[in-house]
Amino acid sequence: MDDDAFRACVRSWLAENLPPSLVGAGGPGSEHELVPERIAWERQLGAAGWIGIGWPVEDGGRGLPWRQQVIFLEEYAQAGGPGRVGHIGEQLLGPALLMFGSEEQKARFLPGILDGTSLWCQGYSEPDAGSDLAGLRTRAVLGDDGQWHVDGQKVWTSLAQFADWCFVLARTSADERHRGLSCLLVPMRQDGVTVRPIVQLTGTSEFNEVFFTDAVAADLVGAPGDGWRVAMGTLGVERGVSTVGQQLGFAREFDAVLASARATGALGDPAIAARLTDAWIELQVMRFYASASLGEGSQGVEANIAKLLWAPWHQRLGELTMDIMGADGTVVGASYELSDAQRLFLFTRADTIYGGSNEIQRNIIAERGLGLPRG
Amino acid sequence: MRSSATSSPSADWGCPVGDSPEQAALRDAVRSLVSRGGADLWKRLTAELGVTGLAVPEEYGGAGATLAEVAVAVEETGRVLLPLPVLSTALAGLVLGASSGCGEFLPGIADGSLRAAFVFGGSLTASSGRVSGTAAHVLDGVEADLFVVRAGAELHVVRASDVEVAPAETLDQSRSQATVFFPEAAAVAVPDADPAVAEELLRVLLAVESVGAAAHCLDVTVAYLRTREQFGRALGTFQALRHRCADLAVLVASARATVYAAVSGATDSELLVQGPLAKKYCADVFWQVAAEMIQLHGGIGFTWEHEAHRYLKRAKTTQLLHGSPTELRRLVAERAGLLTSA
C-alpha cells in the first residue's frame, strides 16, 4: 500500500472507531483518566492490527516502513487518540524481547502485546537509584523451585495498578554496579507484589511505588548478568521512538494556549504576543529537527538533543499559559481539580526529570556527541 | 564510546543532514579550498569550483543546481567567515537565473567576473528604467559590480559604474558594507522575480552562513576544552563547562535542521514564514554560541589575536541586518497568522 492510501486507511479507521469520549483523554498529566475505557481501546487497536505495525512480520507485526509508522502516529494525534496505556509493552518490552528474548519468550509474550490484552509496566527506578541506575538494590535469587524470587522496591512506575506484568531490572549477583543486573518478567497479580500510588504535586497519581516481597518470576531476558545491556538497549528505543506524534501533540497544546490568549485578550499584550510567537517558532524548529533526525536511525545523540529541545519548551508553554490566565490561574476547582492550563503548568515540571533527566542528557551529549573527556 | 570526528571539524553536531554524494563532494571541495586561503581564492572558488554559478542555468555557464547546493557552499564559507561575496553573488545567480531577461549578467556571475550585492532596504524608487535613492548597510557593497535592488514592487539590476559607493568602517571587518547612492541609475528590471521571496532567500542564506559559523565556534571551543588544563585537569572534564557545551550543541543541531528544512524544497509561500524564522533562530543561536565561545576560552578569547571576536561581531551584525530579531518575530507572527484576534 502506498503512503497516501495508508494514511487514508488509518484516518478512516480512526474516524469510524475512536469513541468521542476518549478524544484527547489521558495525555500528560491526565494519565489517570478513563483507564478502563483506554484499556478497552488498546484491545480494539490490537484487534485491528494497529499495535506493533513496525515489528517484523514473522514476529506478528506488519513490517511497515518507518514512514508509515510516522503516518500512523500523525493521524492518531490528529484524531485526538487517547494517551496509550499499552505503550510500555509496545515500545519497551516488545523491542527488548525482539532484540534479546528467546523464541519461546517471544511466542509467549508478544501476542498479548500485539492484541492489546496484556499490559506492562517498567521497573527500573528505585528510591536510591534514579539517575544512577547501576546503583539499584532490588535482588532476585534463583530458588530450588527454578523460579526467581524478587525482593525490593521500585518507584515512579506508571500504570502499575493496571499492569499484568512488570519488566524488572534487579540484581542477580553480588557483582559491582551494572555487572550483576538482570531483566526479569514479573507477574503483577501475585501476593508478593504491592502497589502504592504516589500523590504528585498535581494532586493526582500517574506514578506508583511497587514493593516486591518474595515475588516469583519464571522468566529472565537474555542471560543472568545481561540486564544492563538489555536495559540500555531498550532505553535507547524508549528515547529514540519517533517524536513525530509527540510534535503533533505539542502543536495541539500550543493551539489551545493561543486560543486562550485570544479569548482572554492577553494576545493584546506585546510581551505575551512575543512569547507566543517564540514558542511557535521553537515548535517549528523542533519539528524540523524531528524530521532531520528521522530515518537516519537514532545511533547518535539525536534523541538526547530532542529531549533538551522539547522538555524546556513544554515547561515554558506551561508557564506561558498560566501567565495568560492571570489571577484566575491561581484558583483551582473542588478537590484540587486542575484546569488544562494548570495541569500543563504543573505536570511539565516532570518533563525535565523523567526518561533521563536533562542533566543526564547533557552528560551523554558532552561525552558521546562532543567527545569531551570524562573527569 | 567517543565520537571519532572529534579533532577535525565535526560533520554535523547531532543533526544528520543527508548530503547527496554530489553535495558532499562540493562541501569537501569548498572546505578544503577556503582552508588553504591565498590571494587567488576568489578565482579558484569561481573559475575552478563554480560556487557563484551553482544555481545559474547551464546555458549561461552555471551548474544548473539549486538553493540546496548554494547552501552547502555558504555553510562552508560561513564556517571561516570568508571575506568574499560568495553568498550574495551565488544568490544573484539563483534569483536572476530563475528570471528571464537577465541573461547579460549570468555568464559574469557564473565565472566570478561580476560580484553582486543585494539592496532590500532604503527608500528606492524606480521609474522608466531608472532607480533613485540611497541605501545604507549594503553588505558586500564595496566590491560589488552589480546591485540587485528592490525598488517599488520589482527587483532591478544596477551596475556599480552607474552608482556612487561610500564604504563604511564596519564592526565586522570580514564583510564590507557600503552606503550606495543611486542617481537615477540605469536599471534592468528582473521581470518574473518576487522581491519578497528573493529577500527571504537572502535571509535563509544568512541563516545557513550563521549555522556554519556557529558550528565552527563550537568545534574550536570543544577542542580547546579538551586540551586546556587547570587544576591539573582538562577543562572539558568539568561538568559546569560540559553542560554548557551540550546546550550549545543542541542549539547548533536544531539551527542546522531549521535551515535545511528551508533550503530543501520549501515552496515560495513556505519561505515567507521560514525565511524570517530561520534567520531569527539561527542568528540568535550564532550569537549565543559566539558569546559562549569567548567565555569558555577565558582571557585568550578576549584578545584581538584570537578569532573569537570576529565571530561575535559577525553574529551581532547578522542579527541586526536584514531584519532585527524583533522585526523578524513580528513578520513570522503576521505571516503565520498567529496574532489575529479572530
Give the residue from B74, B22, B24 showing the smallest Cα distance to B45.
B74
Choosing among B254, B271, B274, B281, which should be mutated to test the A contact, i.e. which has the most A CBs within 10 A?
A: B254
Res B331 pLDDT > 70: yes
Closest partner CB to A362 (pick from B243, B280, B281): B243
Distance from the Cα of A179 to chain B's closest Cα (Å) equals 18
Residue of chain A nearest B247, judged by CA positions: A362
Q: Using 50, 70 and 90 to split pLDDT, how confident is the model at B12?
A: low
Total residues found in chain B within this entry: 342
The mean-pLDDT minimum among A300-304, A315-319, A321-325 falls in: A300-304
Q: Is there a single domain that holds both residue A40 and residue A148?
A: no
Give the model's pLDDT for residue A125. 92
C-alpha–C-alpha distance, residues A180 and A186, integer Å = 18
| A206 belongs to the catalytic site | no
Give the model's pLDDT for residue A239. 45
- Domain with A258, as residue range(s), is 242-369
Interface check B238 vs A, CB under 8 A:
yes
Interface check B81 vs A, CB under 8 A:
no
Catalytic residue among A90, A238, A253, A282: A238
Q: How far is CA B114 from the centre of its chain?
A: 19
Count Cα neighbours of B193 within 13 Å in the Cβ-side half-sphere.
29
Q: Is there a single domain that holds both residue A277 and residue A365?
A: yes
Average pLDDT over every residue of A88-114? 93
Contact between chains at A284 and B277 (C-beta distance less than 8 A): yes
Chain A 309-348, residues with CB within 8 Å of chain B CB atoms: 309
Give the residue from A37, A43, A11 showing the smallest Cα distance to A25.
A37
Is A273 a domain residue? yes
Residue of chain B nearest A360, judged by CA positions: B243
Q: Using 50, 70 and 90 to split pLDDT, how confident is the model at B9?
A: very low
Q: Using 50, 70 and 90 to split pLDDT, how confident is the model at A243?
A: low
Q: Using 50, 70 and 90 to split pLDDT, how confident is the model at B279?
A: very high
Contact between chains at A370 and B222 (C-beta distance less than 8 A): yes
C-alpha–C-alpha distance, residues A289 and B256, integer Å = 8
Which residues of chain A lie closer than 8 angstroms to B234, CB-CB? 373
C-alpha–C-alpha distance, residues B120 and B149, integer Å = 6
Rounded to 10 degrees, the C-alpha dihedral B230/B236/B242/B245 comes to 110
Phi and psi based region of residue B14 (left: phi greater than 0; alpha: psi -120 to 50; beta: remaining) = left
Count Cα neighbours of B31 within 13 Å in the Cβ-side half-sphere.
18
Which residues of chain B lie closer than 8 angstroms to A281, CB-CB? 277, 280-281, 329, 332
Is A74 a domain residue? yes
Average pLDDT over every residue of A70-87? 89
Q: Using 50, 70 and 90 to split pLDDT, how confident is the model at A240?
A: very low
Chain B 21-60, residues with CB within 8 Å of chain A CB atoms: none
Give the model's pLDDT for residue A303. 86
Average pLDDT over every residue of B63-90? 97
Which CATH number characterizes residue A219's domain?
2.40.110.10
C-alpha–C-alpha distance, residues A194 and A131, integer Å = 24
Contact between chains at B15 and A292 (C-beta distance less than 8 A): yes
The residue among B241 and A134 whose pLDDT is bigger is B241
Backbone phi, then psi, for A25, in 5-degree steps? Answer: -80, 155
Contact between chains at A274 and B6 (C-beta distance less than 8 A): no
Q: Is there a single domain that holds both residue A254 and residue A312?
A: yes
Cell of A350: 516532570
Give the model's pLDDT for residue A235. 64
Q: Is there a single domain that holds both residue A197 and residue A147?
A: yes
Q: Is there a single domain that holds both residue A268 and residue A354?
A: yes
Interface check A361 vs B, CB under 8 A:
yes
Chains A–B, number of C-beta pairs less than 8 Å apart? 143
Neighbours of A354 (CB within 10 A): 14
Res B259 pLDDT > 60: yes
* SS3 assignment for chain A: CCHHHHHHHHHHHHHHHCCHHHCCCCCCCCCCCCHHHHHHHHHHHHHCCCCCCCCCHHHCCCCCCHHHHHHHHHHHHHCCCCCCCCHHHHHHHHHHHHHHCCHHHHHHHHHHHHCCCCCEEEECCECCECCCHHHCCCEEEECCCCCEEEEEEEEEEECCCCCCEEEEEEECCCCCHHHHEEEEEEECCCCCEEEEEECCCCCCCCEEEEEEEEEEECEEECCCCCHHHHHHHHHHHHHHCCCHHHHHHHHHHHHHHHHHHHHHCHHHCHHHHHHHHHHHHHHHHHHHHHHHHCCCCCCCCHHHHHHHHHHHHHHHHHHHHHHHHHHHHHCCCHHHCCCHHHHHHHHHHHCCCCCCCHHHHHHHHHHHHCCCCCC
Distance from the Cα of B6 to chain A's closest Cα (Å) equals 6
Q: Is there a single domain that holds both residue A137 and residue A36?
A: no
Closest partner CB to A372 (pick from B242, B258, B336): B242
Cell of B112: 566570478
Is A237 a domain residue? no
Contact between chains at B258 and A284 (C-beta distance less than 8 A): yes
Q: Is there a single domain that holds both residue A205 and residue A310?
A: no
pLDDT tens-digit readout, A260-299: 999 999 999 999 999 999 999 999 999 999 888 875 444 5
Res B5 pLDDT > 70: no
Is A128 a domain residue? yes
pLDDT tens-digit readout, B143-159: 999 999 999 889 999 99
Closest partner CB to A305 (pick from B14, B17, B18): B14
ipTM of the complex: 0.94
Distance from the Cα of B341 to chain A's closest Cα (Å) equals 6
Backbone phi, then psi, for B163, in 5-degree steps? Answer: -130, 170
Interface check B250 vs A, CB under 8 A:
yes
Share of chain A above pLDDT 70, in %: 95
Which residues of chain B form beta strands (DSSP E)?
116-119, 125-127, 130-139, 146-151, 154-159, 164-167, 177-190, 229-230, 233-234
Interface check B278 vs A, CB under 8 A:
no
Contact between chains at B236 and A278 (C-beta distance less than 8 A): no
Which residues of chain A lie closer than 8 angstroms to B18, CB-CB? 296
Which CATH number characterizes residue A281's domain?
1.20.140.10
Give the residue from B77, B92, B98 showing the smallest Cα distance to B35.
B77
Contact between chains at A267 and B341 (C-beta distance less than 8 A): yes
Q: Is there a single domain that holds both residue A284 and residue A185?
A: no
Residue of chain B nearest A358, judged by CA positions: B243
Packing angle, helices A66-78 and A244-264, rounded to 10: 20
pLDDT tens-digit readout, B174-231: 999 999 999 999 999 998 899 999 999 999 999 999 999 999 999 999 999 999 999 9
Closest partner CB to B3 (pick from A293, A371, A373): A371
Is A94 a domain residue? no
Give the model's pLDDT for residue B265. 82
Which residues of chain B lie closer than 8 angstroms to A308, CB-CB? 246-247, 250
Contact between chains at B14 and A284 (C-beta distance less than 8 A): no
Domain count, chain A: 3
Averaged pLDDT score across all residues of chain B: 93
C-alpha–C-alpha distance, residues B256 and A269, integer Å = 32
DSSP state of B27: H
Q: How far is CA A22 from the centre of its chain?
A: 19
Cell of A120: 506492562
Give the residue from A191, A228, A226, A230 showing the smallest Cα distance to A211.
A191
> What class is the B196-335 domain?
mainly alpha
Cell of B224: 580547546
The second-level CATH assignment, the architecture, of B115-193 is Beta Barrel (2.40)
Which residues of B130-224 form beta strands (DSSP E)?
130-139, 146-151, 154-159, 164-167, 177-190
Backbone phi, then psi, for A73, in 5-degree steps? Answer: -65, -40
The residue among B9 and A330 whose pLDDT is bigger is A330
pLDDT tens-digit readout, A212-231: 999 999 999 999 999 988 88
C-alpha–C-alpha distance, residues A253 and A169, integer Å = 35
Averaged pLDDT score across all residues of chain A: 91
Residue of chain B nearest A265, judged by CA positions: B341
Contact between chains at A273 and B341 (C-beta distance less than 8 A): no
Which CATH number characterizes residue A64's domain?
1.10.540.10
Q: Using 50, 70 and 90 to split pLDDT, how confident is the model at A33?
A: confident
Q: Is there a single domain that holds both residue A262 and residue A186?
A: no
The counts of H helices and E strands in chain B are: 10, 9
Is A104 a domain residue? no
Is A105 a domain residue? no
Q: What is the pTM of this model?
A: 0.92
Average pLDDT over every residue of A287-316? 84
Distance from the Cα of B71 to chain A's closest Cα (Å) equals 16
Give the model's pLDDT for residue A241. 46
Which residues of chain B lie closer than 8 angstroms to A285, CB-CB? 254-255, 257-258, 277, 281
C-alpha–C-alpha distance, residues B193 and B156, integer Å = 10
Contact between chains at B254 and A289 (C-beta distance less than 8 A): yes
Give the residue from B119, B201, B123 showing the smallest Cα distance to B156.
B119
Give the model's pLDDT for residue A278. 98
Q: Is there a single domain that holds both residue A217 and residue A261?
A: no
Total residues found in chain A within this entry: 375
The residue among A237 and B160 whose pLDDT is bigger is B160
Contacts of B276 (CB under 8 A, 6+ apart): B200, B203, B323, B328, B329, B331, B332, B335
CA angle B309, B314, B317 (to 5 degrees): 125
The residue among A242 and B123 whose pLDDT is bigger is B123
Q: Is there a single domain that holds both residue A266 and residue A326?
A: yes
Distance from the Cα of B232 to chain A's closest Cα (Å) equals 11
B212 three-state secondary structure: helix
The residue type of A218 is: A
Contact between chains at A280 and B336 (C-beta distance less than 8 A): yes
Give the model's pLDDT for residue A165. 97
Give the Å distances, CA to CA, from B1 to A26, A31, A366, A369: 38, 36, 11, 9
Q: Where are the domains of chain B?
A: 12-114, 115-193, 196-335
Contact between chains at B16 and A305 (C-beta distance less than 8 A): no
Q: Using 50, 70 and 90 to split pLDDT, how confident is the model at A174?
A: confident
C-alpha–C-alpha distance, residues A87 and A24, integer Å = 16
Average pLDDT over every residue of A144-153? 96
Which residues of chain A lie closer than 8 angstroms to B3, CB-CB? 368-371
Interface check A373 vs B, CB under 8 A:
yes
Which residues of chain A lie closer than 8 angstroms to B1, CB-CB? 367-368
Res A335 pLDDT > 70: yes
CA angle B170, B174, B180 (to 5 degrees): 50
CATH of B12-114, picked from 1.20.1270.10, 3.40.50.720, 1.10.540.10, 1.20.1050.10, is 1.10.540.10
Q: Characterize the bridge pairing of strands B229-230 and A207-217.
A: unpaired
Q: Using 50, 70 and 90 to split pLDDT, how confident is the model at B14?
A: low
pLDDT tens-digit readout, B108-157: 999 999 999 999 988 899 999 999 999 999 999 999 999 999 998 899 99
Give the model's pLDDT for residue A236. 56
C-alpha–C-alpha distance, residues A161 and A121, integer Å = 9
Closest partner CB to B14 (pick from A302, A374, A375): A302
C-alpha–C-alpha distance, residues B250 and B244, integer Å = 10
Q: Is there a single domain that holds both residue A81 and residue A126?
A: no
Long-range contacts made by residues A34-39, C-beta under 8 angstroms, separation at least 24? A34/A82, A35/A85, A35/A159, A35/A162, A38/A82, A38/A83, A38/A84, A38/A85, A39/A85, A39/A119, A39/A162
Give the model's pLDDT for residue B175. 95
Interface check B329 vs A, CB under 8 A:
yes
